[in-house]
């Protein structure tokens, strides 16, 4: 899930300069789960906008704002309210915002900061475990990603700063490479330690990413 949080109101206010009428858009997927852009947050945003003398022409929470065709459909359903607006304020991740901006020539204002691809520990507690590097080595690292969870992103760890299994960047946190070693030992295999690991091919992390099935 994409972890996001709301921009502070001061930053949002700067972007709202000269925009009187606004159409609000939330996302029913990740941003709802993060409590940054679901129905409740869209409603709170609306209340705040009204309190600073803006007019809200309408709002919608799109099932998945990053779905370009679905966003197009929902904007069509709200055609009049969108047309009346000076700008669209979007409470969705960066992909969601661009999904909207690809469907309108109106000014689109991003209301959230997108932080990372996150695992959910429990509601409201998220952890980054994968950086989408394009060349996954989890099969050799006992399912622990050093690219993301080692503070230095090392492919050959642990570094000299590891102490009693803890990371030198934060002694409260387990060293990823120590954890990899311990888990591989429990599994009775050498995994990544069986071979020299060449430098990572960052070319696999192509931007912009594209995948077309079939
Ligand atoms: S190696 Fe790590 S960052 Fe790369 S795809 Fe696998 S889990 Fe994600
Ligand atoms: S102590 Fe471990 S997790 Fe921390 S930077 Fe060094 S190898 Fe990476």
What is the position in ligand 1's atom list of the atom closest to the CA of 141?
1
Alpha helices by DSSP H, listed for the chain, are 9-15, 30-33, 39-51, 68-77, 79-84, 94-101, 146-149, 176-186
Locate tokens 């904007």: which residue? 75
The confidence band for 207, taking pLDDT boundaries of 50, 70 and 90, is confident
pLDDT band at 159 (very low <50, low <70, confident <90, very high): very high
Ligand number nearest CA of 176 is: 2
Closest ligand to the CA of 181 = 2
For 24-60, what is each residue's pLDDT tens digit? 999 999 999 999 999 999 999 999 999 999 999 999 9
Candidate from 131, 134, 204 with most ligand 1 atoms within 8 A of CB, to mutate:
131
pLDDT of 134 above 90: yes
Q: What is the mean pLDDT of residues 189-194?
A: 97
Of 171, 135, 136, nearest to 151 by C-alpha is 171
Q: Quote the ligand 1 centre to 192 CA distance (angstroms).
A: 14
CA 128–ligand 1 middle distance (angstroms): 11
What residues have CB less than 8 Å from 16, skipping those under 6 apart?
A: 22, 49, 54, 87, 89, 109
**Which of 145, 204, 211 to probe ligand 1 with, by most ligand atoms within 8 A of CB?**
145
Q: What whole-number percentage of the chain has pLDDT above 90?
A: 90
Which residue is listed with tokens 């003398």?
53
Q: How far apart are CA 173 and CA 167, in angstroms?
A: 6
pLDDT in tens, 143-157: 999 999 999 999 999
Q: Using CA atoms, how far apart are residues 128 and 131, in angstroms rounded to an integer?
A: 8
Instruction: State in Å: Cα 197 to ligand 1 middle.
Output: 15
pLDDT of 70 > 90? The answer is yes
156, 161, 164, 180: residue to mutate for ligand 2 pocket, most atoms within 8 A of CB: 161
CB of 148 shorter than 6 A to ligand 1:
yes
């Amino acid at each position: 899930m994409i972890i996001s949080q709301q921009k502070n109101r001061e930053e949002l206010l700067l972007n709202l300069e000269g925009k009187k009428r606004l159409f609000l858009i939330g996302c029913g997927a990740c941003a709802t789960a993060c409590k940054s852009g679901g129905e409740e947050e869209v409603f709170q945003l609306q209340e705040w906008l009204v309190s600073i003398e803006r007019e809200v022409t309408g709002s919608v929470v799109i099932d998945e704002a990053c779905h370009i065709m679905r966003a197009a459909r929902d904007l069509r359903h709200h055609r009049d309210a969108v047309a009346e607006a000076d700008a669209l304020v979007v409470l969705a991740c960066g992909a969601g915002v661009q999904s909207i901006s690809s469907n309108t020539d109106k000014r689109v204002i991003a209301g959230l900061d997108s932080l990372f691809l996150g695992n959910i520990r429990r509601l409201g507690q998220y952890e980054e475990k994968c950086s989408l590097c394009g060349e996954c080595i989890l099969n050799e690292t006992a399912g622990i990603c050093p690219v993301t969870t080692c503070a230095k992103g090392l492919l050959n760890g642990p570094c000299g700063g590891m102490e009693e299994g803890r990371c030198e960047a934060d002694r409260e946190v387990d060293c990823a490479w120590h954890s990899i070693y311990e888990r591989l030992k429990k599994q009775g295999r050498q995994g990544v330690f069986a071979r020299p690991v060449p430098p990572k091919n960052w070319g696999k992390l192509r931007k912009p990413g594209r995948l077309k099935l079939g």
